[in-house]
Amino acid sequence: MELEGKVAIVTGVSKGIGRATAEALLARGMAVAGWGRHAPQGLTHERFQFFECDVREEIAVAEALTNTLRELGPEIHVLVNNAGLGVAGPVDGFSSDDWRLMFDTNVHGTFYCAKAVLPQMKRQQLGHIINVASIAGTTGIENMAGYCASKFAVRGFSQSLFKEVRNDGIKVTCLYPGSTQTNFFDDIPGAQANDSMMQPQDIAGAIVYALETPFNFHIVDVEMRPLQPKK
């Protein structure tokens, strides 16, 4: 897809991969609607608008879409489902509230946002949905059962959705980043972000690459890992 002049929605835009993706899409000439609970500090651009949205609430998603269409025009070409979080802990000592929080954000939020934009993408017969999962969506990790379960769900959702909407000209790509230097590790005991990890800009670059593929094919799954991880 030629990105210049097109419209993208990026969730979880306040920092990390979401912010880096918004900046990369702006650099390609897109208009970007950033959805999140907090605005990205210092991100000002004539083609960027922030809309407060908690993706855990379907009503909030519907309101954000209405505001986006009013401000940026009637077409939505790209949705980047990036909003997500992780909480660590053993299953037998894990908070049920934290379990629900992860599924409400990582899984239900992805569903609400995709469901919201699909009618317009189908009218256009053109669109691309990017779901940011995690390497945790491909393998189990000790003390991360809830997070892994939520990202496995994103994987299943993505692979089902692409088969459902491909004949409408809509692409679906799921990314599985490994360790990325973001604030994700702030709340993970025993883990610390470091310079050997991938950078948010690396993930954003992969997203741009997937979006710019010619119309006749699409990239379904992308697994990314640091080349030389810190031992």
CB 21 within 8 A of CB 204: yes
Per annotation, catalytic residue among 112, 147, 176, 209: 147
- DSSP assignment, residue 198? B
Q: Residue 66's CB: how many other CB atoms inside 10 A?
A: 12
Each as own residue / partner, the long-range contacts of residues 92-97 (CB below 8 Å, 24 or more positions apart, any chain) are 94/145, 94/146
- Paired tokens of 46: 């004539």
The question of whether 112 is a catalytic residue gets the answer: no
CA quadruple 134, 49, 36, 137: dihedral, nearest 10: -10
The position carrying tokens 């509230």 is 97
Active site residues: 147
